[in-house]
Amino acid sequence: MFRKVTSAFAALAFSAAVFAGPAFAADDPIVIKFSHVVAENTPKGQMANKFKDMIKERLDGKVKVEVFPNSQLFGDNKVLEAMLLGDVQLAAPSLSKFERYTKSLQIYDLPFLFKDMAAVERFQQSADGQKLLHATSDRGLIGLGYLHNGLKQLSASEPLRVPQDAAGKKFRIMSSDVLAAQFQAVDAVPLKKPFSEVFTLLQTKAIDGQENTWSNIYSKKFFEVQPYITESNHGVLDYMVVTSKEFWLGLPVDIRNEVKATLDEAIKFGNDVADQKAKADRQRIIDSGRSEVIELTDAERSQWVEVMKPVWKEFEEDIGPDLIDAAYNSNM
């Protein structure tokens, strides 16, 4: 498996040598527009700003990073198309948002697959996990690394303790058929909507609930318009830091290596932020008194697992049973 990954990198390096990428003017800095949808005080927001600062220190005059948070430049439904058109060079969409480009990354949306973030990290760093970073390469998008956010919780207008409590309720989901199936499994109604619309949909009661991480629920103030949050930890919300093949392979080799090394460091920093914010933002929400955090008993949690787990079978053929086994084994 390792050899396969290595040869994938070798193939990329070879195509880099022959690829006629964009020409960069000798005197102008190369501009990397980094577009994302979350607030700046989130793991992704902080990672993007750190990357920008580190590039300024290391490659001033040669490379300039411009960060656009809060869907200012592109929303999550447009950013990958814009990247392929060369209008943005870096993004870190949630792994759930690549479905139009590959089915393999659907693995990350399977409910109750990973028991904690350590298991997610083990899988992502394994040969299988690293190989998935190339899953969109033939569509012109290269994964440069994974960035953590954390496990997802269920927020709603009414308390959700057992699956029947969700029946008939409308939940906003990211653009993923696996997430749609997950909510259909509890007889709820999933609605695919961009992240930028979630607060208003909740506030106007056009939807009843949504699933997200502690840092997104806190930074986008969902907790102010959702009186209940069930600590379900039922799925993972992580990111693939992505660029276009055309841009990446067109960079001068020395610059590309320095940008990649800097990005790796920024990702490590972002992962530490993710770890801290998952705890801190949960506590901030509790302290606000605006939303009650519901902790499930083991018996209640088992009911959610039981009704949602058949979703794995539904997507097994697209994702690959061996890959699902490998991911599941990362829990051990």
* Contacts to ligand LMR by CB under 6 A: 37-38, 76, 94, 149, 174, 195, 212, 216, 237
Which CB atom, from 206 or from 261, has the smaller least distance to ligand LMR? 206
Q: In the bound complex, what is the minimum distance in angstroms from residue 257's beta carbon to ligand LMR? A: 27
Distance of CA 156 to the CA centre of its chain: 22
Q: CA–CA separation, 154 vs 163, rounded Å? A: 11
Amino acid at position 91, single letter:
A
Assign residue 221 a region: left if phi > 0, alpha if psi is -120 to 50, beta otherwise? left
Which CB atom, from 126 or from 232, has the smaller least distance to ligand LMR? 232
Q: In the bound complex, what is the minimum distance in angstroms from residue 66's beta carbon to ligand LMR? A: 18
Q: In the bound complex, what is the minimum distance in angstroms from residue 198's beta carbon to ligand LMR? A: 7
Distance of CA 178 to the CA centre of its chain: 14
Which CB atom, from 174 or from 311, has the smaller least distance to ligand LMR? 174
Tell me the backbone φ, ψ of residue 38, rounded to 5 degrees: -95, 175
As a whole number of Å, the end-to-end CA separation of the chain is 20
Which CB atom, from 76 or from 208, has the smaller least distance to ligand LMR? 76
- The contacts of residue 143 (CB under 8 Å, 6+ apart) are 132, 133, 134, 135, 136, 240, 241, 242
Cβ atoms 113, 312 nearer than 8 A: yes
β-strand partners of 229: 155, 293
Which CB atom, from 74 or from 328, has the smaller least distance to ligand LMR? 74
Which CB atom, from 37 or from 135, has the smaller least distance to ligand LMR? 37
Q: CA–CA separation, 226 vs 173, rounded Å? A: 16
Q: In the bound complex, what is the minimum distance in angstroms from residue 190's beta carbon to ligand LMR? A: 13
What is the SS3 assignment for 154? strand
Which CB atom, from 211 or from 246, has the smaller least distance to ligand LMR? 211
Q: In the bound complex, what is the minimum distance in angstroms from residue 242's beta carbon to ligand LMR? A: 12
Q: In the bound complex, what is the minimum distance in angstroms from residue 309's beta carbon to ligand LMR? A: 22
Q: In the bound complex, what is the minimum distance in angstroms from residue 148's beta carbon to ligand LMR? A: 11
Tell me the backbone φ, ψ of residue 76, rounded to 5 degrees: -70, -10
